[in-house]
A and B are shown apart, each in its own frame.
Chain A
């Protein structure tokens, strides 16, 4: 009855998704900062096989966009100018995985630009921005969540296990950390950093700060569970047998906290990625021209974008598979963990 394989599938899916993001340069047709000022807010282009004269083309193509008469910002297809697709096109230079210089892209057009997912306010290709944006966002999300969880578990377990004055002190410090207006500090951060710190570096500094100070919540959750776990009979019995603290923590107590930790992890990564959006609201997000999912979604915060440019929602579609992946993985690990425990502890209950 041991289901050990569910989580492996989720892990594989996540690995593939992350792989695509890591090789964004190849999959993205254009550089994320390339502006096209003639075509801001272009809706996604349609791929055609049949042209307006009824002829079938083997190679898919798209039409050049043209400004609709009398408007500032509405576009339509100009059915005369056919632009065929090409695969493995030579385009903007990039470094694959940050190491290997290359200029081959999966697909593109000979002339003209193809906007599969539309363009943003500066005419930059949304698809490329989503792919490159994932690099920064996922890194920030994993970094921040990792820091928070790691420090939270460490401190929470210590507080819960040793109890007494250590517990009291750590929990009060936790309260201090939650109470302080870190927003104030973050707003000020840019102001006293030297100008030579690049905005991307500054953004990651913000993520580190948020991650480092966010340990209080997981710590309290873990501490609560540890407090109760250490009084369990099997723990006392193991101690009676001469187990050291480290052994008890590792073997008996921390596994009790696994479900809390996994749930937290699955929630924290999406929350960190989305926290970027709130940071952008306050002017603390990743600045131009670097894309990130948070800043892409930030443009959705405006009413005008929400009702006029529906394709700006598409980054959400890109994020959803990742979040579902993380949540699914956490769920699967929890379930298998529970099953394992059931099998493993059959002996204890008889006793």
Chain B
């Protein structure tokens, strides 16, 4: 319990540090949101300057940070220059859309990576392993962007998948059942892209971890005792191989909000990715900070989960820590 409270406090400090540093980063680069107006001959530089003052972009940094923290407590998370509205409602909707995608993709990726990695480790050096290694190497070489674009082209050429977006144009007129089906069919391609990009890394790590355990003598001893294969797999092999995999799982959780940016942009999925990318390029400061904070929360949660699971999975750490 004490451990939990300690981690919670650390997480709070982390969030504060992240917000401060992001504020700082944002001032490093010269220019601001209203800079774009200066290239518009219709708008005078005085107007752009006046807008800057109105949105208090000329105040010193600590003052701006204080005001932002204030608005955070009120649940608004600052003000978007572009949308002219508070940031929080913008982020909630998008974050929900992103989570829908990434949760599905993460579950599927892990569900595929575990059996594939184990199979590969069991047949180490033989045909299935080599085929899998080649396949994962091939997938690793293809960057996210190309993958997403390639799948989109496939969708257009074949007509089997919708070409992007989250829902069809006539979404409102559909029944509830059809609505769910519509969203699901729009999710197919982005989820496929995310799974294909995450799978090689996961599968290779699973393979490496399991292969190492399979070499271990204690496993041969257990097998020679006549313990059935399935029990061996779940009780012995996976538990022993779990450590690096748990850290990896922590990363998966941590990347739930941030890992899908490219896929979302290419496939026009209305998630956090396109919003943040546009905000970064347009210097919509508070949207960026809000998005970063959201992602950080997930990151912290992911790492916390991983740490807890490591302690649970490996009794040696528990007893070792207790003994000391």
Contact = CB atoms under 8 A, between A and B. Distances in A.
A349 B208 CA distance: 22
Interface residues of B, number: 68
A334 B149 contact: no
6 contacts: A168-B10, A184-B22, A184-B29, A221-B244, A228-B310, A303-B153
Interface string B277-307: 0001100000010001001100110010011
A318 to B, nearest CB: 11
A176 B319 CA distance: 30
B140 interface: yes
A191 B14 contact: no
A221 B247 contact: yes
Interface stretch (A66-74, A84-92, A93-101, A323-331): A323-331
Interface in A214-228: 217, 220-221, 223-225, 227-228
Given A188-B25, A225-B244, A323 B140 contact: yes
A133 to B, nearest CB: 15
Contacts of B146: 277, 297, 300-301
Interface string B1-45: 000001000100110011001100110111100000000000000
B274 to A, nearest CB: 13
A195 interface: no
A259 B22 contact: no
B184 interface: no
A157 to B, nearest CB: 14
Interface string A48-78: 0000000000000000000000000000000
A180 B143 contact: no
A307 B31 CA distance: 38
B218 A192 contact: no
Given A225-B243, A225-B244, A228-B316, A267 B140 contact: yes
Contact of B149 (A175, A187, A267, A306): A306
B137 A324 contact: yes
B153 A307 contact: yes
A331 B262 CA distance: 30
Interface in A261-277: 262-263, 266-267, 270-271, 274, 277
Interface of B: 6, 10, 13-14, 17-18, 21-22, 25-26, 28-31, 124-125, 133, 137-138, 140-146, 149-150, 153, 201, 204-205, 208-209, 211-212, 215-218, 221, 243-244, 246-248, 250-251, 254, 262, 280-281, 288, 292, 295-296, 299-300, 303, 306-307, 310, 314, 316-317, 319-321
Contacts of A263: 204-205, 208
A16 interface: no
Interface stretch (A30-38, A198-206, A335-343): A335-343
A346 B317 contact: no
A323 B319 contact: no
A192 B314 contact: no
Contact of B30 (A191, A278, A341): A191
Given A224-B310, A231-B320, A338-B215, A183 B280 contact: yes
Contacts of B310: 224, 227-228
A320 interface: yes
A243 interface: no
B299 A323 contact: no
B133 A331 contact: yes
A222 to B, nearest CB: 9
Given A179-B292, A221-B244, A231 B299 contact: no
A185 B10 CA distance: 25
A40 interface: no
Contact of B243 (A228, A262, A271): A228
Contacts of B149: 301, 303, 306
A228 B125 contact: no
Nearest to A256: B212
A181 B292 contact: yes
Nearest to A233: B316
Contacts of B248: 221
| The 3 nearest A-B residue pairs measured at CB | A188-B29, A231-B316, A231-B320
A274 B262 CA distance: 14
B201 A270 contact: no
A281 interface: yes
Contact of A178 (B218, B254, B317): B254
B320 A230 contact: yes
Contacts of B205: 260, 263
Contacts of A225: 243-244
A220 B303 contact: yes
Contacts of B144: 278
A172 B10 contact: yes
A339 B216 CA distance: 10
A319 interface: yes
Interface centre among B143, B144, B303 (most CB of A within 10 A): B143
Contacts of A24: none
B324 to A, nearest CB: 8
A346 B280 CA distance: 57
A349 B320 contact: no
B124 A184 contact: no
A331 B215 CA distance: 15
B254 A181 contact: no
B14 A175 contact: yes
A127 to B, nearest CB: 20
A163 interface: yes
B153 to A, nearest CB: 7
Interface in A299-324: 300-301, 303, 306-307, 316, 319-320, 323-324
A345 interface: yes
